[in-house]
Amino acid sequence: MKAINHKLINDLLNAIRPFPECFGPSYTDNGDALENEFNMRKALKKVDPSAIMVYGASKLIIISAKLDFVIKIPFNGYWSETYYEDGDNDDLEWIDFYQAPTEDGYDYCYAEYEKYRDLEKVFLKNFVATTIFYKEIDGVRIFLQEKIICSSDNKVNLSSKKSMNLALKWKKEKKIDITVAWVASCLDYYGINKTKKFLNYCNEVDEDILNDWHEGNYGYRKDGSPALIDFSGYFC
């Protein structure tokens, strides 16, 4: 990663503090939502007009055009709608995360960080976005992660015919159950042996890495090299 703009990062984080004790999205018939979401987005824009906020099931992410990485903040659970038999007085019930692959059971960002460091030790870190621990605020760990263009942003990444054919062969042989085009890109950029080593690692050492596979969780760097964006798994 390039030099870290601590002032901008801290200003963005301070804009959306304090983090609530029950920090996570609500799932209702009216769609997903985050408590105080509108004000949080507005506060970020005051600090940096280019800043946007997105979130998934387990993490909140701040993206700024002025930074070459994203800021990741873990949720610790979610709100779920509770239905009563009489159909009246439906309520939201808070449910803690407890199955995240970490000691505390809730921090999927920390799980991702630990997995990155494990992959680094076995020289497979290129397959995932660089992830570093930034600081802890109010008991919440904050992480920075390399910017990757996710597949859901419709980035076209053309692989060689040879790599596509091999990836298709692996798919038919049920050696992989993930996106063929992404695996083909791995073959082009990292080679057959290293790609095999990574896939074997995911199948034999750490199955969580590919557990939550969808187009929002993998993508490509600016140079076209493939990488996973979210590789902590998800177990609600």
Strands lying side by side in the sheet with 149-150: 149-150, 218-220, 226-228
Res 218: pLDDT: 93
CA atoms within 13 A on the CB side of 143: 26
Res 31: pLDDT: 57
Amino acid 136 reads E
Q: Are residues 158 and 120 in the same domain?
A: no
- What's the pLDDT band for 89 if we cut at 50, 70, 90? low
**In a domain? residue 233:** no
Q: Are residues 143 and 75 in the same domain?
A: yes
Q: Which of 119, 147, 175 is the last residue of a domain?
A: 147
Q: What does pLDDT average to over the chain?
A: 90
**In a domain? residue 42:** yes
Split into its structural domains, the chain has a count of 2
Q: What percent of the chain has pLDDT over 70?
A: 91
- What's the pLDDT band for 92 if we cut at 50, 70, 90? confident
Q: Are residues 13 and 126 in the same domain?
A: yes
Q: What percent of the chain has pLDDT over 90?
A: 68
The per-residue pLDDT for range 99-158, each reduced to its tens digit, is 888 888 889 999 999 999 999 999 999 999 999 999 999 899 999 999 998 886 656 567
Res 157: pLDDT: 67
Task: Tell me the average pLDDT across 145-174.
Answer: 86
Res 85: pLDDT: 63
Q: Are residues 18 and 84 in the same domain?
A: yes
Q: Are residues 138 and 155 in the same domain?
A: no
**In a domain? residue 234:** no
Q: Are residues 58 and 130 in the same domain?
A: yes
Q: Domain of 216?
A: 151-228
Q: Is the pLDDT of residue 38 over 60?
A: yes
Q: Which of 91, 114, 147 is the last residue of a domain?
A: 147
How many whole angstroms separate alpha carbon 87 and alpha carbon 73? 36
Q: Are residues 112 and 170 in the same domain?
A: no
**In a domain? residue 91:** yes
Q: Are residues 156 and 77 in the same domain?
A: no
Higher pLDDT, 164 or 32: 164
Cα 63 to the chain's mean position, in Å? 13
Q: Are residues 218 and 176 in the same domain?
A: yes
Asked which of 37-41, 70-74, 123-127 is least confident by mean pLDDT, the reply is: 37-41
